[in-house]
């Protein structure tokens, strides 16, 4: 009989099928045998173990401890997040948006004052004083410096950045026109008046509207920062109440099962959570009150005073141009009456100034804010009376007398004295209201100081206390 060759490896089945590759008699990754239960997922098995653990008191305690720690940590995290955002917005109000709004107002005021001073110097002709010249140059330098500050604070490519760039281009053009007007005026050429009117048109119709746009945008940014800083952090407050409710329930459960009144860990967690919640509510309420005061008695007054100052500057410029143009520019009213353009605009500006001074008096909340506004109002009333005298003299053909009543020396009681009184007293009121804003806004920001970091630290301590308190109970089962 021939020899049978030896086989290597396990013997083949009688039917010649392949030898299984697994030591368990089935190929790897083979489908389950018919009728066998499918393998369960890790998630399902974990859920079963959790349900099984929840049927025992130690398992329940572990779950309660995890939920308490999670709630307290979430409370601290949301508190830190929301208060960080509000603190940043309050800081922007104090150190960014309001100062930029004030800078934009200074740009407008400097440009308007330069235009007014230039017309006053033009009327003086060869008698232009050094003080008038210095004031004009100072206004131009201030406007240029404030434009640089605003450019550094604006976002590249934004509408504010484009407006600032346009003003930077227009400023040297305006200066050139003023210098031509002065040069012609010193030589007695009538062309000087035309250059001055052209410079005034460039200022009134191009530069000041753009400066007003910049001021409005910065005010909108300031309002947006207030809107971000003042709302209550309701999400954090709600989480704090839920966390305290869960801690109270856990301690009541512990008392009912063990008859022990105090669990030191959970009591510490409750105390820390109460501190965070009280700090959150009281601190934000104080901050909100400070910010509201800074807006009501600071920003609102500043806006009205800026508008009053601008109205007085425009009125003074139009008063001067009335004498410069000598009736060359007219305006036709709705009743077909023809009036001097600049004198008509002067009347409109004085109406605006009257309204703004009345609003500023209503908003002033102390003597230091009220007195300069009242003095400015008295100066304005005298200004109106003296302007009427100057217009009467001009209409009678007494140009030199009218000129003396507008830009003359102190003994001739010119309207310029009244304008200077209005401008100086408005400046005093602005300084006072600025300090009021700084004080109230600083108090509001100070009430938020340390709250985000403090809430996070106390929340971690509260979570640790809750875990230790549950751990104390678990140790009794070992």
363 with 297: CB under 8 angstroms? Answer: yes
Q: Cα–Cα distance between 410 and 405 in angstroms, integer?
A: 10
Across the chain, mean pLDDT equals: 85
Each residue's pLDDT tens digit, 179-230: 998 888 888 787 888 888 899 889 988 999 999 999 999 899 999 999 999 9
Q: Given a cut of 60, is residue 40 above it in pLDDT?
A: yes
In sign, the C-alpha dihedral spanning 308, 310, 311, 317 is positive
Q: Cα–Cα distance between 419 and 413 in angstroms, integer?
A: 12
pLDDT score of 41: 77
The listed range with the strongest mean pLDDT (50-64, 197-211, 250-264) is 197-211
With cut-offs at 50, 70 and 90, classify the pLDDT of residue 13. low
CA 220 to chain CA centroid, nearest Å? 8
pLDDT score of 25: 47
> Which residues in 406-417 are b (16+ Cβ under 10 Å) and which e?
bbbeeeebbbbb
Token pair belonging to 13 = 């089945």
Each residue's pLDDT tens digit, 402-460: 888 888 777 778 898 999 999 999 999 999 999 999 999 999 999 998 999 999 999 89
CA dihedral 328, 333, 339, 345 (to 10 degrees): -80
310 with 108: CB under 8 angstroms? Answer: yes
pLDDT score of 63: 83
Longest CA–CA separation in the chain, Å: 155
Torsion angles phi and psi, residue 348, rounded to 5 = -65, -40
Question: What is the end-to-end Cα distance of the chain in Å, rounded?
Answer: 75
pLDDT > 90 in the chain, percent: 46
pLDDT score of 39: 66
Among the listed residues 400, 417, 415, 425, the one whose alpha carbon sits nearest the alpha carbon of residue 346: 415
Token pair belonging to 93 = 């109000």
pLDDT score of 443: 92
Token pair belonging to 41 = 């997922």
Q: Cα–Cα distance between 307 and 429 in angstroms, integer?
A: 13
DSSP codes joined into one string, 362-384: HH--SHHHHHHHHHHHHHHHHHH
pLDDT score of 225: 93
107 with 147: CB under 8 angstroms? Answer: yes
pLDDT score of 12: 54
Q: Cα–Cα distance between 433 and 187 in angstroms, integer?
A: 46
269 with 462: CB under 8 angstroms? Answer: yes
Cα radius of gyration rounded to whole Å, the chain: 40
Torsion angles phi and psi, residue 331, rounded to 5 = -140, 135
Each residue's pLDDT tens digit, 299-337: 999 999 999 999 999 999 888 888 887 766 777 777 777
């Amino acid at each position: 009989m021939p020899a049978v060759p030896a086989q290597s490896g396990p013997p083949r089945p009688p039917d010649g099928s392949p030898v299984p590759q697994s030591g368990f008699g089935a190929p790897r990754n083979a489908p389950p045998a018919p009728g066998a239960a499918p393998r369960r997922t890790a998630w399902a098995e974990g859920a079963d173990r959790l349900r099984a653990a929840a049927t025992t008191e130690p398992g329940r305690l572990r779950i309660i401890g995890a939920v308490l720690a999670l709630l307290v940590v979430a409370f601290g995290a949301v508190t830190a997040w929301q208060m960080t955002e509000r603190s940043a917005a309050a800081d922007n109000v104090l150190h960014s948006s309001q100062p930029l709004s004030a800078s934009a107002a200074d740009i407008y005021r400097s440009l308007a004052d330069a235009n007014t001073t230039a017309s006053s110097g033009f009327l003086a002709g060869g008698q232009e004083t050094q003080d008038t010249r210095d004031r004009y140059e100072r206004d131009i330098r201030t406007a240029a410096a404030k434009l640089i500050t605003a450019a550094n604070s604006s976002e590249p490519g934004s509408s504010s950045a484009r407006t600032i760039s346009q003003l930077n281009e227009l400023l040297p053009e305006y200066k050139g026109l003023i210098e031509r007007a002065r040069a012609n005026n010193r030589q007695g050429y009538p062309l000087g008046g035309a250059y001055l009117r052209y410079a005034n048109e460039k200022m009134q119709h191009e530069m000041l509207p753009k400066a007003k746009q910049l001021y409005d945008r910065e005010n909108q940014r300031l309002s947006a920062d207030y809107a971000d800083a003042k709302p209550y952090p309701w999400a954090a407050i709600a989480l704090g109440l839920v966390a305290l409710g869960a801690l109270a329930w856990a301690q009541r459960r512990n008392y009912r099962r063990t008859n022990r009144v105090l669990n030191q860990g959970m009591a510490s967690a409750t105390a820390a959570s109460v501190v965070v919640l009280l700090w959150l509510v009281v601190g934000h309420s104080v901050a909100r009150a400070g910010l509201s005061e800074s807006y009501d008695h600071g920003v609102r007054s500043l806006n009205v005073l800026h508008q009053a100052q601008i109205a007085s500057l425009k009125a003074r410029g139009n008063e001067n141009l009335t004498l410069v143009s000598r009736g060359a520019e007219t305006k036709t009213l709705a009743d077909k009456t023809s009036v001097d353009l600049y004198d008509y605009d002067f009347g409109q500006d004085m109406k605006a100034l009257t309204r703004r001074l009345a609003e500023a008096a209503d908003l002033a909340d102390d003597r230091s804010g009220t007195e300069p506004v009242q003095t400015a109002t008295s100066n304005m009333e005298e200004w109106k009376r003296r302007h009427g005298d100057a217009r009467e003299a001009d209409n009678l053909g007494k140009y030199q007398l009218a000129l003396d009543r507008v830009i003359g020396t102190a003994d001739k009681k010119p309207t310029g004295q009244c304008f200077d009184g209005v401008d100086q007293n408005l400046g005093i009121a602005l300084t006072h209201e600025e300090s009021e804003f700084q004080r109230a806004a600083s108090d509001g920001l100070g009430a938020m100081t340390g709250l985000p970091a403090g809430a996070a630290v106390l929340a971690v301590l509260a979570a640790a206390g809750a875990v230790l308190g549950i751990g104390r109970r678990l140790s009794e089962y070992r």
